[in-house]
Structure formats: structure tokens, C-alpha cells
Structure 1
């Protein structure tokens, strides 16, 4: 299946960063693995969603809203007695008109959420306990399609800025997951 031009270009421009993040997220086979994943995704999504809530989207998106999972994610953290990440790492996007690239990363995560929700369910987590954010994203696939359509028609689209914003988002997510993994190892390391 051929992708629309802007989506195809963003996919190509972010391939390496996307694969690096996917490798770090990996697959979770235990509840402890899932808790690490949850800490990492919270350290990524909560600051990014906070930034989005304070900034406007381009006019082409006036009748559309990103699929935010902040409330579900906080409930999942509480379910698993996992602390919210500290506020010390706010999301700071690069210069330029590239918010479409950030939205591409966030909305595209609904594709992966379908697989991750199945993995979480195999560990006993559900749309009602521990994996609300994943099931919310997986059910909201139509939002990805609506975003993709708008992405192709937004005026003043800057392909380089969009790719830079998307790669910044992937890098920020990778840093969040690495921090969660390092914090987990520090807790488990005997002195």
C-alpha cells in the first residue's frame, strides 16, 4: 500500500529514531517489564501532552483533537503503585512550524498500542486496570486516520521542520524510556 506523500516522507525521515525507540520499548513479558514500560511512557507522554494543552494547532486541525491519554495513564500508574515521573523534564520542541511531526509521533502510537494492549492483557492488565491508556489508544484508531488526512492538506507545511519535530519527539521518548530503565536498575542494584 502506497502511503500519502507527507506521511511517507515522515516515515522515512524518522525510521532510525523510531526503530531505536521500538528496540528500547521491546516486549514486556512480566509485570515488572510492564511497570518499566509504564514509567517510560509516562515520562514521555505526560510532559508532551502538557505542552500540547498550552499550544494551538494549525488551522487545518481546528475540527480535530489529538488522542490524549493523560488521565488514563495517571490511573494506570496509580493501579500499579508506580510513581508519576518528576516534573523536571519539560518537553521543549525545536524551532519552526513542525508540530505536525510531533502529532505524527503521538497519533502513530495508536498503531503500536494495539499490539501492546494485547501484551498487557496477557499479563492481566485491561482497559479497566493498569492498561487504560493502551486500550484507549487502540480503540481510537480512527483519530489516526483523521490526522493523516489533515496532515496531507495542512497549509504552510514545512517537511524539514516536521521531520525535526518528529525526530525530537522520538528522541525525547527514547530518553524517557532509558531514564525509566536506569531508575529501575538503580532500585534493584544491591549496595
Structure 2
């Protein structure tokens, strides 16, 4: 089954926003790449900001579900679930076309222009923080470490654009190992 025109537009917009940035990607470019009439685009998303919000909302749900799935994949138990997440993050950062965190990129571009976009990025990070806290709690580790885990995770996403993140991943894995030994 073919995706709906709305889904096609979201797919193309997300790809272009991630690759080129939100401000550098125009509605005309999204329309041209999609081949979907501009009237149809505006029927689904009446403004570029509405399109960006829809892209980020969908991307957040997808990203959080992916991290949750990683945490429960295989035989990983306790804090080893965090280890699986960070090892996957290493692969993500080394993949061709990696361009950092879509939500941090959006927040940076719209910090003083769109409170709704910035709030959506904050909400995404709060949900990620809650997920890390649940993993820590389930493992019997202090949930007070969740903000540090989030900072490492987001920091690695940011660093991955410009440098080798191997040492940062190694530090995250060492921290997880130390926490695991102290429980």
C-alpha cells in the first residue's frame, strides 16, 4: 500500500529538513521533490511551521519507540539496556548522512522564532529523560542519574556531527558499567 500524500510529504520534508536545515529548506523544494501539487501540500499543512511541527511530532514518536525497542531487545537486562542504546547511538552517528539531533537542530533554528517548535523539542527530551529514568528504576539504580544519561546521549548526538564520538561512547559505557557495579 502506498503511503498517503500527507505521509509522503512528511517523509520528504523530514529528509530535507534533516539534511539541509529547516530555514534552508523551502516549501517549493519540498513540493518539487515530492511532485505533489502545492495546493495539496497546503491542504494538509497550511503553513511551513505546521509542516515542521507535524514532522517533529512524528519523528519524536518514531525515535522514542525505537529507543524503547532497543531497551527491550535481546537479552539485555538492567543497566545493560542503556548499554544497548548507546551502542546503537554509535552506529547512528557513524551512518552516512548523519547530521545530529533533529530536535536540537530545530530548537537551535527556532529558539527565538517559534515557541511551539522549541516546546516540541523540549517535550521530546523530557520523554527521553522519562524513558532513561524508567530504565534506571527498573534496574534498581538511582533515577537521579537520568539527566546525566540524557546529557551524554544528546551531547554525543551533537558531537557526532563534527568529531569522532568513540571516546564519548566509551565514557558513557564506562559510566554505565560503574553504575551497574555499585547497585
Q: TM-score range by the shorter chain?
A: under 0.3
Where relative contact order (Cα < 8 A, 6+ residues apart) is larger, the structure is 1
TM-score after normalising by structure 1? 0.26
TM-score after normalising by structure 2? 0.27
